[in-house]
Amino acid sequence: MADEQELKRQICAKMEPARGFYALGMFHDALRAIEGLPPDDKAHRLVVMLRLDILLALHRLIDAITVGRGACRQWPFVDVFFLKTVTAFMELNDHQQAKDLLLTGPPSLQQKAIYWYIRARCHSRLEDLGEAKKCLQECFNRDLSFRQRALDEPDLAAVWESLFRWLRSTDWNSMEWQVKN
C-alpha cells in the first residue's frame, strides 16, 4: 500500500507540467508533456485520465474514444472513464454507441444522477421518448439540480416537445383530478 501511494505521488509530480498546461488551456503543450513521459508512467490510470481530458479539450474525439475504450477495459470499475468516453460519442452524435457503452459501465455508475441524465439524452436522440422520460425521472429523483439543466438541453428537446403536445391536447376542464369543494 505504501509503495502504491509512493508511486501515485511520483506520477502526480511527473504530471505537474501537463496539468499546469491543461489548467492554462494550453492543451497541445499538455499533450506533449504527457507524451514525453516514460511508457510505464503513460500507462498509469491518472495519466490516462488526464490524456483523455486533453483529447476531449482538443476535440480529438476519435482519439478520445480510443483511449477511453481502452481505459474502460483496463479499469472497468472507474466511472469517469465511461462518462468521458460517452461524452466523446455524444459529441460525434453517435448516441447508440454512447448508450451502449454507458450500459456496460460499473454498477456504481447507476447510482449517479449524471448516468440517468446522459441516458435520457441518448434515448431522446434515439427517439425512445418513453425511456428518456423514465431516465429523466430517475435523474431528478437523485438530484433535483438537473431539472433546470434538462430544460435547456438540446438533446432533450424531443422529450419536452412531446410533453407540450400532450399538455396542449388535454382537456383540462374534464379532468377527474380537479379538486371539488
Return the ∠ at Cα 116 (arms to 115 and 120), rounded to 5°.
120
Are 87 and 56 in contact by the 8 Å Cβ rule? The answer is: yes
> 50 with 37: CB under 8 angstroms?
no
Euclidean distance between CA atoms 64 and 77, whole angstroms? 19
Band (146; pLDDT cuts 50, 70, 90): very high
Please check the confidence at residue 86 and state whether its pLDDT lies above 60: yes
Q: Are 126 and 96 in contact (CB under 8 A)?
A: yes
pTM (2 decimals)? 0.85
First to last CA, the chain: 69
Mean pLDDT value across the chain: 91
Q: Express each pLDDT in 156-167 by its tens digit.
A: 999 988 887 877
pLDDT at residue 1, rounded to an integer: 55
**Is the pLDDT assigned to residue 17 strictly greater than 50?**
yes
Which domains, ranges and CATH numbers included, belong to the chain? Answer: 81-158 (1.25.40)
pLDDT tens digit sequence for 168-181: 777 666 655 454 43
Q: What is the pLDDT of residues 36-81, one digit of tens each?
A: 999 999 999 999 999 999 999 999 999 999 999 999 999 999 999 9
Residue whose C-alpha cell is 498509469: 44
Span 79-84, average pLDDT = 97
Nearest by Cα to 98 from 87, 110, 113: 87
For the residues 123-150, what does the mean pLDDT come to? Answer: 94
pLDDT at 63: 98
Mean pLDDT across the stretch 14-27?
95
Per-residue model confidence as pLDDT tens digits over 91-115: 999 999 999 999 999 999 999 999 9
